[in-house]
Structure 1
Amino acid sequence: MNNDKPTAFSVPVVDISAYVQDGTPAEREKVAKAMDDACSTVGFIQVTGHGIDDSVTDGLASAMDDFFGLDLESKKGYKVEGANRGYTAPKTESLSLSAGVEAASRMNDFFEAYNVGVEARSFTDLDLDEGDYGVNVWPQIEGYRDRVQTYFAEASRVAYTLTSIFADALGLESDFFDRITDHSIDVLRMNNYALPPGTEVTLDGDLTGMGEHTDFGIVTVLWADQVRGLQVLGRDGAWNDVSPADGALLINLGDLTARLTNDRWMSTLHRVKPPVVNGTIERRRSAAFFRDGNADAVISTLPSHLEYDNGMAYEPILVTDHIAAKLAGSRGGKLNAAAVREAARLREAATR
């Protein structure tokens, strides 16, 4: 029997309810094994059994609608200079620069976004730099803050559950990820893929909703509309469409987890190519919760994974330095020269 026949790309589905609902050791072992298989083959996972109620995601979606429905000038009033917070207008970022690749046109990603996150002052017993964590600004919209913070807390819980599964899947101490995330740089980025009315765009061109990139940190928890647009770069070098299943969250690994595992668990490259329907761009919303790790944590390749990637381990890196280099690319327009492996995968895909 020939087992070399290529198979269609798919995102594995992992039910994590055994960790959410205190399952048996055998049930948890099964989940950890499934997670290891998913992370080592695709790097994107459809997660079910996460325990976030529909009312929470509905509240998040309505808060996003309320804010992104404002006129552009009102939204620009919530822009925060030099910080990973507040409003980002269309065509002011270029995510591919964070992955070490020049975009055809710089700062051309047409999504708009709003960022909130954990603040340094939340950790009263630590002397943390606001430059790493940021200070939130909240739109003056009734109920906005409560709806967003309710979802933020739930996404944070899911991220914690996932890193517990990761520790078991990798054979690590149960508190391994706790030690590098107990004052993590956590950010919720709410994205809207629809150009403001009156914006000129060439619909037959190569539109970029969000450029090719990897996520920066440890794990990303993504809620998204079931509207096509998200594409994931498979290990065969082809781009594949991905949309969340009913009730599922999309989970992907960040660069720091890839560094820990020496790319056995890869930080998968992805992008958003906006769908065009009847000559107009179909609206798409997503909200990405990033667990990026403690600013002062040093990330090194795990001793158990030194033999992967031909024995060429990543150099240890301070989380704050890694995040700064990535943000300087996406938001500052500076090519991230340190993203060597990501750039190589993108260039290889471009030749196929």
Structure 2
Amino acid sequence: MSNPESVVPVIDIAPLTGGDPAAKAAVVAQIGEACREIGFFQVIGHGVDLGLVQRMYDVSRNFFDQEMSTKRAVAQPNPETIRGYCAVGEQSFAYSDDVSTPPDLHEKYDVGPVDVPKGDPYYSVENAGGHFLPNQWPAEPAAMESIWTEYFGVMNDLCGRIMGAFALALELPENFFADKIDKDISMLRAINYPHTGTAPLPGQMRAGAHTDYGSLTIVRQEEAPGGLQVFTQDGDWMPVPVVPGGFVVNIGDLMAQWTNDEWISTRHRVAPPPADSGDSRRMSLVFFHQPNYDALVEVLPSCVPEGEEPKYAPVTSGDHLISKFVKTHSGGPAPQQGLASLVAGG
């Protein structure tokens, strides 16, 4: 299924869990084409409870509507520890691509992995650094932890299905990625783009142009002025329409590296609303799927033309993620550091 008004195709993924091999193969082919051509697609037929999505919006909006002092009680402690609240102007996504821009016009709240097993040394600070540090849950709204925890699990399950489709699209066994994402270091974020009556600074975005870092991202966006845009291979910024009941999916830098850039990690941004557009507040729910911290991302041999060398050296998922985080918040290249550098931020 496609949307003639958008460069981003809309794909019904219900056949991925159905019993029709031909229908499943057709969906896999659509996903593979989208990853090669634009790196973005939207999914319907995903089976996610839309009531849960609404509860996520409601509880997150209630959190952002609180006094700043209340939100600051769960403020993110430092650039390397992505847990808790960041206010408007405290980061710029474009910095992750080494581009200096004015701070972004949004506030956000992040959590990392939930339901982390107790006592398993794999998850310890000594081995994992800060990737499994505890989340900072606000006292209010009281239901926030339970709703976000449920949504995190549902998004992770959806990512697992999509990663299986990715494997098939790359002519690999469907479970190829399974042992690389079974202890993932994914994150869930709500981004609130407040209404503002003042004009942005030159070059200022709600979220500056950037690529995502990991394997894939799932976004639930809201219909409001000033929305998500993708940068096409033709050099144009094109809007990504809101599809009722759908989710936006895009691949990140690690998936591009895995495929030697056969699949595209596309730059995207959230633009300021047009002047005089009325109430422009909008919120996005974003799930950043990130493989296990020790998963070694090496270019797939099938993606390297005969006689050529891979474009990318092997890198672990965790080290790659840290370097991007620091750039996003510090406004400059990240220092060389490993997972242990996160311990001080706990």
- TM (norm. structure 1) is 0.86
Distance 2:27 2:147 in 1: 31
Corresponding residue for residue 130 of structure 2: 131
- Please state how far the C-alpha of 1:8 moved relative to its aligned partner: 7.3
Give the letter aligned to residue 92 of structure 2.
Answer: S
- Deviation track 1:19-56 (CA, whole Å, cap 9, x = no partner) reads 23x33211111111111111111111010100012201
Distance 1:281 1:88 in 2: 22
Distance 1:173 1:126 in 2: 30
Counterpart of 2:7 (choices 10, 15, 18) is 10
Distance 1:169-1:125 versus aligned 2 partners, 3 A rule: same
Corresponding residue for residue 59 of structure 1: 55
Task: Using the aligned pairs only, state the percent identity.
Answer: 32
Corresponding residue for residue 85 of structure 1: 83
Give the letter aligned to residue 314 of structure 2.
Answer: P
Distance 1:79 1:158 in 2: 29
**What SS is found at the alignment partner of 2:147?**
helix
Distance 2:115 2:132 in 1: 5
Counterpart of 2:117 (choices 119, 122, 138) is 122
1:123 touches 1:183 (CA, 8 Å); kept in 2? no
Corresponding residue for residue 332 of structure 2: 334
Corresponding residue for residue 342 of structure 2: none
Corresponding residue for residue 301 of structure 1: 299
Give the gaps of 5 or more residues in structure 2: 337-346
- Deviation track 1:107-151 (CA, whole Å, cap 9, x = no partner) reads x11210000120594364342325123321111112122222222
Answer yes or no: is 1:153 the counterpart of 2:150. no
Counterpart of 2:208 (choices 211, 225, 250) is 211
**What SS is found at the alignment partner of 2:265?**
coil
Distance 1:297 1:124 in 2: 21
Give the letter aligned to residue 330 of structure 1.
Answer: T
Distance 2:209 2:335 in 1: 15
Give the letter aligned to residue 194 of structure 1.
Answer: P
Answer yes or no: is 1:263 the counterpart of 2:258. no
**What SS is found at the alignment partner of 1:139?**
coil
- Deviation track 1:137-193 (CA, whole Å, cap 9, x = no partner) reads 111112122222222121111111100111111111222111211111110011000
Counterpart of 1:231 (choices 229, 232, 240) is 229
Distance 1:169 1:233 in 2: 23
Distance 1:275-1:181 versus aligned 2 partners, 3 A rule: same
2:273 touches 2:280 (CA, 8 Å); kept in 1? yes
Distance 2:35 2:323 in 1: 25
Distance 1:14 1:337 in 2: 40
Corresponding residue for residue 251 of structure 1: 249
Distance 1:214-1:124 versus aligned 2 partners, 3 A rule: farther
Distance 1:93-1:233 versus aligned 2 partners, 3 A rule: same
State the aligned residue count. 324
- Stretch deviating more after TM superposition (224-233 or 54-63): 224-233
Corresponding residue for residue 143 of structure 1: 143
1:9 touches 1:234 (CA, 8 Å); kept in 2? no
**What SS is found at the alignment partner of 1:331?**
helix
Distance 1:166-1:295 versus aligned 2 partners, 3 A rule: same
1:17 touches 1:23 (CA, 8 Å); kept in 2? no
Answer yes or no: is 1:25 the counterpart of 2:24. no
2:106 touches 2:194 (CA, 8 Å); kept in 1? yes
**What SS is found at the alignment partner of 2:313?**
coil
CA RMSD of aligned residues (A): 2.3
Corresponding residue for residue 50 of structure 1: 46
Counterpart of 1:222 (choices 210, 215, 219) is 219
Answer yes or no: is 1:285 the counterpart of 2:283. yes
